[in-house]
Amino acid sequence: MDRIRAPAVFSQRKRQKGLHSPNLSCNYEIKFHKLVIFIMQRKMGMTRRTFLMELARRKGFRVESELSDSVTHIVAENNSYPEVLDWLRGQAVGDSSRFELLDISWLTACMEAGRPVDSEMKYHLVGQDQSPPLSTAESEVPSFIASKVSQYSCQRKTTLNNYNKNFTDALEIMAENYEFKENEIFCLEFLRAASVLKFLPFAVTRMKDIQGLPCMGDRVRDVIEEIIEEGESSRAKEVLNDERYKSFKQFTSVFGVGVKTSEKWYRMGLRTVQEAKADKTLKLSKMQRAGFLYYEDLVSCVSKAEADAVSLIVKNTVCKFLPDALVTITGGFRRGKKIGHDIDFLITNPGPREDDELLHKGLLLYCDTIESTFVRDQLPSRKVDAMDNFQKCFAILKLYQPGVDNSSYNTSKNFDVAEVKDWKAIRVDLVITPFEQYPYALLGWTGSRQFGRDLRRYAFHERKMILDNHALYDRRKRIFLKAGSEEEIFAHLGLDYVEPWERNA
């Protein structure tokens, strides 16, 4: 039914945009006369294009509202080189060689520099150096067989090179909204589709590009189709503007607050983190109080440099107690990410079980220690999102940053007194695992979350095995399968080994 009504919705949106077109006649001083910029609206949307045009004009650039003979540089966002050529054909342009066809990142670099920057290779559109000139036949999408793409992300090598971010961002917004509504089926539907699109070695530009791919249900296809036609998803936009979604997004950003607590606070009439902080009737857990106390630090991104600094602190401290201990950073940083919101460490010791007391040495600013509940020879959990039974510590560590002014941080009990400080509070998870279970724990804690889900689903449905962060159990042979490395676990499952940086599903 949604698909039948869609054209009417689209046409209404276009009429509204036409009625509210902003006045672009403002006069700005042109500082750079040698280049004339035209910004393509396709896949960008009118609002963003208008903003970028005005910004560039204020910086002294000449920006044309319409494509004309005077244009020297065409800037596009989320468009491949063949796609821009195709658009130019539709504008009856006979020779594209007179234009510099550049990615939006070039314009962004110009804005930051306050002047034109060289149009280096890195600013060229995807496929520009391989594509034929405009006068030849239309370029084709790289050779790719959709039917051979597995539904399981553990059979796909997914790096951080996401050519379809405009689609995956929208799908992940939809998934998060359903997660807040505790609708697991719809949430996973959008997450699995986003995972497939992240794997693709090319940018999707037409519905034909996703034909035959797994996990592309009607709801997913509707979102993709609208982004292709309109440059954005009205459904994702509605979610971003939804009061409940915005409140849950804020509440769950607080350390120790999940969907259940967010639902409770929302029903109480609370809408923002500030309102929750000010409400004296809330019964906060120790973790939630720490979450509010260090909120500004914890919601900011953790850089790779900060992760490395914390890693050094953790390793040096652990080795004072356990000289032979192995400390490994896991999570997104092990998968090659440059930023994150917390840092996960896996700690194991090949010697005697002296690690049981490690988390009780008083190492951190704040910690919430959970004791191990693992029972020897217990079967792995069948739940794809099951929490493991290792001893672990959800903690906040103080990282000193000499010369850094973080004056926005509140230290008072009532969150109303600001203090200048030279350190940053950083979320750290420490997980203690027995040495024999270390490979399974490393695989599970490295992620990504979707990769781990699919690995467990694949083990259960395709190999008749049960996998979790502790062990791998063969249901047919009724035996536990030992492994000394991640590679051996993949081998037990009959899978090609996937490197950590290829697990960004």
Catalytic position from the list 169, 222, 429, 474: 429
- Angle (CA) 357-361-364 rounded to 5° is 130
**Choice among 103, 209, 342, 468 that is catalytic:** 342
Give SS3 for 347. strand
Q: Tell me how crowded residue 111 is: count the other CB atoms within 10 A of its CB.
A: 16
Based on the residue annotation, tell me whether 355 is a catalytic residue of this protein: no
**Is 468 known as a binding-site position?**
no
468 among known catalytic residues: no
DSSP secondary structure letters along 99-139: SEEEEHHHHHHHHHHTS-----GGGBPTTTTTSPPTTSPPP
Task: Name residues whose C-beta falls within 8 Å of residue 150's C-beta, 6 or more positions apart in sequence.
Answer: 156, 214
How many other C-beta atoms can be found within 10 angstroms of the C-beta atom of residue 19?
7
Distance (Å) of CA 461 to CA 204, 440, 444? 30, 19, 18
What amino acid is encoded at 285 in this protein?
S
Question: How would you classify the pairing of strands 302-303 and 100-103?
Answer: unpaired
User: What are the residues facing 394 on neighbouring strands?
Assistant: 368, 429
344 is in an annotated binding site: yes
Residue environment code for 195-216, b if the CB has 16+ CB neighbours within 10 A, otherwise e: bbbbbbebbbbeeebbeebbbb
Using alpha carbons only, give the angle 196, 469, 306 rounded to the nearest 5 degrees. Answer: 75
Assess whether 344 carries a catalytic annotation: yes
> Number of C-alpha atoms within 13 angstroms, CB side, residue 123?
18
Helix ranges (H only) for 322-360 are: 331-334
Residue 355 annotated as part of some ligand binding site? no
For tokens 């902003």, what's the residue?
22
> Strand ranges (DSSP E) for 45-93?
61-64, 73-76
Q: Count Cβ atoms within 10 A of the Cβ of residue 171 and give its class: 0-12 exposed, 13-18 middle, 19 or more buried.
A: buried
> Pick the catalytic residue: 209, 344, 355, 454?
344
Say which DSSP state 285 is in: -
End-to-end CA distance of the chain: 31
Cβ neighbours for 241, distance < 8 A, ≥ 6 positions apart: none
Q: Would strands 100-103 and 73-76 be described as parallel, antiparallel, or unpaired?
A: parallel
Note whether 355 and 438 are within 8 A (CB): no
List the structure tokens of 9. 């919705």
Q: Hey, is 391 helix, strand or coil?
A: strand
Q: 222 burial class (0-12, 13-18, 19+ CB within 10 angstroms)? A: middle
- CA dist 17 and 13 (Å) reads 6
Question: From the annotation, which residues make up the binding site for Mg(2+)?
Answer: 342, 344, 429
Instruction: List, by residue number, the catalytic residues.
Output: 342, 344, 429
Question: From the annotation, which residues make up the binding site?
Answer: 342, 344, 429
